A and B are shown apart, each in its own frame.
Chain A
Amino acid sequence: MKELTVLNSSCRIELDAFEGPLDLLLYLLRRDEIDIYDIPVAHVADQFLKYIRRARELDLNVASEYLLMAATLTKMKSKALLPTSRFDGEENIDPGAELRCQLILYRTFREIAEELQRSEEVWTEIFTSPGERERWSTDSFEIEPGQASLLDLLEALNSLSEKEPELPSQKIQRTLLTISECINALEKKIIFGKTISFRDIIGPEPARSRIVSYFITILELIRRGWISCHQAYPFSEIELQRTERWSVDS
C-alpha cells in the first residue's frame, strides 16, 4: 500500500516536467541506480509504461514521442524475454544498443545545456560595450540590405495580418415613423364603439421601431384623452377604445 502511494506521488511529477521520453528514461535510470551500460530492459520498460499509464489516468496529454518510446521498450522487452533464434538474422544486434547510444548522446547534450544555462546565468549579469546599447536600443534603426531574413519578413507579414481587420461598414437605413403618421394610421383602425388590442395595431412580427413608435403614439393619444385603455394585469393585452374627444378635437 505504501509503495502504491509512493508510486502515485512520484508519477505526479507529471510528464510536463520532462523534456521528452529520453529525459524520463534517464530519470528512471538514475532513480533506480541503473548503469546506462547495463539496462535491465524488462524492468525499465515496466517503469516507463507505469508512468505513461498513470499520466493517462490523470488525463494528461501524452505526447506521441512517449507512446513511440513505450512501444519501442515493449518490443525490446519481448525480444529480451524470447529465446534468441539463430535463424532470424538479428541475433547479433543487441536491441538495447541503439537506445543506449541515444541515451548517452542525449545525456551529453543535456549536460551541455546545463552548462549553457550556467553561462547564461553569468552573462545576463554582464553588460558589454559595444553590445547591449546597440542591441536593445528603443530607437528604430535602418535595416541594411542583407540584414533582414526571411523570418523577419514572415514576422512582419504576421503582425500585419494580426491587426484588427476593418469591419465592412454597413449603412443602416432608419425607417422613420412619426407620431403624426401613426395617428393618421390609427384614425382608421380605432373605430368608435369598437375595442382593438395593441397587438392588432402593430400587426404580426413588427419591427422594434414600429412597436416603439406606436406605443409612444398610444401614450400621446391617452394624454390627449382621445382614447381610453385597459389592461387586465401586467403584460396582458392592452385594449384600446376611441373616446368622443378624438372627433371633437381633430
Chain B
Amino acid sequence: MILDRLAREVEALIFASDGSLSIQELCEYTGSGEDSIHQALDRINKVFLDQQHALTVIEVAGGFRIATDREFGDVVSQLFEGRKPGKLSRAALETMAVIAYSQPCTRAAIESIRGVNCDSAIRTLLERDMIKISGRMETPGRPLLYSTTLVFLEYFGLADLDHLPRFDEIEELLGMSSSEMEERDLFGTGEK
C-alpha cells in the first residue's frame, strides 16, 4: 500500500508538532474534512502495521500522537531513566478515580467516599500534575476544588473524560441518593 498525499501530510504534521494535534487542527492545516482525516489516519496505521513498524497513531488527551508499541517499552524506557516518575500508589489511584468522576470536587467529598484522609494522595497528584486546583466551592470555608488535567489523560492513555471506564454507570451512581441506590439494586450481581 502506498500512502496518498493527505495521509502523508497528516503523518508529517503529527510527527513535527510540538503539541498533540486535534482533529480540528488537522482539518485546518490540510484543508480536509474530519472524515477524510480519520480515513487518512486509518491508512497510516495500516501501513505501520503491514510494514511492522514499531509505531501507531493514537488519540490521547484530545489529540493525535505517534506512539511506540508496548513491546518496546523496556528499550525506550532507557531514554528516560531517572526522569520518568514511578507508579502511583493505591491511595493515589483511588483518589484519582474519585476526582476523575466527580470533578470538580472537594477534599471532603473524596474523603467521604474513600472513608480515609486523602491529604498525601492529593498532594502527590498535584505534584505530578495529574490534578489541579480549579477553584473554590462557594460554601462556608470555601474549600478548594480539584479537577483532572491533560497529564492525567495522557498518563492513563485516555482520549478524553468520556472515555473513562464505566463512565455512564458511575455518573448515574454519583447522582443517586442512598435510597435510590437501594431501590435500583444496581449491584445485586456484584462481588460477593
Contact = CB atoms under 8 A, between A and B. Distances in A.
A114 B155 CA distance: 15
A129 B76 CA distance: 12
Given A30-B192, A126-B67, A149-B133, A115 B115 contact: no
Contacts of B1: none
Contact of B87 (A102, A113, A120): A120
B116 interface: yes
A128 B67 contact: yes
Contact of A126 (B15, B113, B157, B170): B157
Nearest to A25: B115
Contact of B20 (A34, A97, A113, A131): A131
A104 B15 CA distance: 45
B114 A104 contact: no
Interface residues on A, range: 35 or more
A122 B70 contact: yes
A109 B114 contact: yes
B157 A123 contact: yes
Interface string A135-149: 110100000000001
B113 A107 contact: no
Interface residues on B, range: 35 or more
The binding surface of chain A is classed by DSSP as helix
B156 A120 contact: yes
Given A33-B192, A109-B114, A113-B96, A129 B15 contact: yes
A112 B101 contact: yes
A141 to B, nearest CB: 11
B98 interface: yes
A21 B115 CA distance: 7
B101 A37 contact: no
B39 interface: no
Contact of A113 (B94, B173, B185): B94
A109 B97 contact: yes
A119 B185 CA distance: 29
Contacts of B90: 19, 113, 117
27 contacts: A35-B192, A36-B191, A65-B117, A69-B115, A101-B181, A104-B181, A106-B115, A108-B170, A108-B187, A109-B94, A109-B113, A112-B101, A112-B166, A113-B94, A116-B96, A119-B157, A120-B155, A124-B84, A124-B87, A125-B72, A126-B67, A127-B68, A127-B76, A128-B60, A128-B65, A131-B154, A132-B79
Interface of A: 19-23, 30, 33-37, 63, 65, 69, 97-98, 100-102, 104-110, 112-117, 119-120, 122-132, 134-136, 138, 149-151, 155
